[in-house]
Amino acid sequence: MSTTPAAEVEEHPTPTFANALRAEVLKLRSHRPTFVLAGFVLLLLGLVLFALAQDVVIRSDLPSRPLAALDQVLPPVQFVFAAGAGVVLLTSSSRLVGMEYALGTIRVVLGRGTTRSQLVLAKLAVGLLFGGLLLVAYACLTALGLTLLTVHLAGSTAPIGALPAAGWRQLGLAVLSCAASVVSCTAVGVGLGAITRSLTGGMVLSILFFPLDNALALVLRAAYHLDHLGVWRSVSALLLGPTLNRLPGLLTGQAAASGAVLPTPMVTLAGGGALAVVAGWFLVLLAMALVVSARRDVLA
């Protein structure tokens, strides 16, 4: 250790939400495994598009019935995003919160004036930002992949130009459905990270959240078959995972491939109702994260 530093610091540095956000971006940016996982998701998309290129139905539909071909292509592409990007977002957002407690850096961050709500909101915002960028990258690669697929199968991009307005609307709603998945996974990750205050616990619970949620839908379905009480059907409509499974189909009016495999609510909601369930879960998880962060002592 040597001499006193000379660089002058602002007399009263003020931790703000913008400062907390900037710091969270730096923390996320420096975590290589998150980006490796995101790369795997994009690689998986490439494999799915390659598999779709071999599909004889798509090959025959594409030149004359582009909308029917789109109906074949969209569900698996959406499913890969929901599952792959979901895992990336669940782990990265719960890690953003849990690592502060695991490393004890929460003491340094809060001990210098960043408020607990600023920290939680900054982590949520960075998770959403990362999810948004992942969605944009995925959408761009999908667009590029589908263009190449069309040229490969039809010899030109004419089927894309011939896509009716309903097809473009369907694409827009597919993006909206993926955005709902981004929002849900980020909120689950941040919320469970804040509640468990543990890196491992937060990540494990976040990964298990949707399987448990889907398993609960199956339990409710079995209960309904046993006693035919309407309450099981109503409760199933409030589950996040099954609602997300059904969301692409509800928004586009098509039966999504994921919906055929994974549990769905027993009550058929309108697209707006399903989005309200997603928004409700987001608000509940955010409120829980804020309350537990504000009220509990930091003993990490």
Partner 1 sequence: MNSNAAIELRGLGKRFGRRTAVEDLDLTVERGEVFGFLGPNGAGKTTTMRMVLGLVRPSAGRLRVLGGAIPEDSAEVLPRVGPLVETPALYLHLSGRDNLRVLAAELGGVPPGRIPELLELVGLAERAGDRVSRYSLGMRQRLGLAVALLHQPALLVLDEPANGLDPAGIREIRALLRQQRDRGTTVFLSSHVLGEVERVCDRIAILHRGRLAYTGTVESLRGSAGRFRVGLDDADRALRWLRAQPWGSDARLGEAGEVEVGSPTGRGRDLNLALAGAGFVADSLTAVQRDLEAAFLELTEG
Quote the crossing angle between the two packed helices 86-103 and 17-29, to the nearest 10°. Answer: 110
Residue 109 as a binder of partner 1 (CB under 8 A): the answer is yes
| Nearest distance from C-beta of residue 199 to partner 1, angstroms | 11
254 binds partner 1 (CB under 8 A): no
How far is 170 from 183, CA to CA, in rounded Å? 20
Measured from the CB atom, is 119 or 250 closer to partner 1?
A: 119
Cα–Cα distance for residue pair 50/95, rounded to 1 Å: 33
Tokens at 193, concatenated = 């990270």
Question: Residues 43, 103, 143, 215: which binds partner 1 (CB under 8 A)?
Answer: 103
- CA 243 – CA 285 distance, rounded (Å): 16
Q: CB-wise, 38 or 240, nearer to partner 1?
A: 38
- Member of 31, 35, 63, 267 binding partner 1 (CB under 8 A): 31
d(CA 78, CA 65): 21
Q: In whole angstroms, what is the distance from residue 117 CA to residue 267 CA?
A: 36
Shortest separation between residue 135's beta carbon and partner 1, angstroms: 26
200 near partner 1 (CB under 8 A) = no
Contact of 72 with 153, CB cutoff 8 Å = no
User: Which C-beta is closer to partner 1: that of 287 or that of 294?
Assistant: 294
Q: What is the DSSP letter of 284?
A: H
Q: Which stretch binds partner 1 (CB under 8 A): 4-12, 135-143, 183-191, 233-241?
A: 4-12
Cβ-based nearer residue to partner 1, 108 or 143 = 108
Q: Which two tokens stand for residue 190?
A: 């941040």
With CA atoms as reference, report the closest residue to 261 among 142, 91, 83. 83
Q: How many residues bind partner 1 (CB under 8 A)?
A: 41
Could you tell me if 210 and 91 are in contact, meaning their C-beta atoms sit under 8 angstroms apart?
Answer: no
Cβ proximity to partner 1: between 14 and 54 the closer is 14
Question: How far apart are CB 103 and partner 1 at their closest, in Å?
Answer: 6
Min dist CB 22 to partner 1, Å, is 5
**Residue number with CB closer to partner 1 (118 or 243):** 118
Q: Assess 161 for contact with partner 1 (CB under 8 A).
A: no
Q: Which two tokens stand for residue 121?
A: 């909101």
Encoding tokens for residue 248?
A: 């692409």
- Least distance in angstroms from the C-beta of 42 to partner 1: 23
Residue 12 binds partner 1 (CB under 8 A): yes
User: Three-state DSSP class for 265?
Assistant: coil
Q: Does 105 bind partner 1 (CB under 8 A)?
A: yes
Asked whether the beta carbons of 200 and 223 are under 8 A apart, the reply is no
User: Counting contacts by CB under 8 A, is residue 108 touching partner 1?
Assistant: yes
Q: Is 129 in the site for partner 1 (CB under 8 A)?
A: no
Instruction: Give the C-alpha separation, 232 to 210, whole Å.
Output: 18
Contact residue for partner 1 among 44, 63, 68, 115 (CB under 8 A): 115
259-262 own/partner pairs: CB under 8 Å, 24+ apart: 262/214
Residues that bind partner 1 (CB under 8 A): 1-10, 12-16, 18-20, 22-23, 26-27, 30-31, 99, 103-115, 297-299
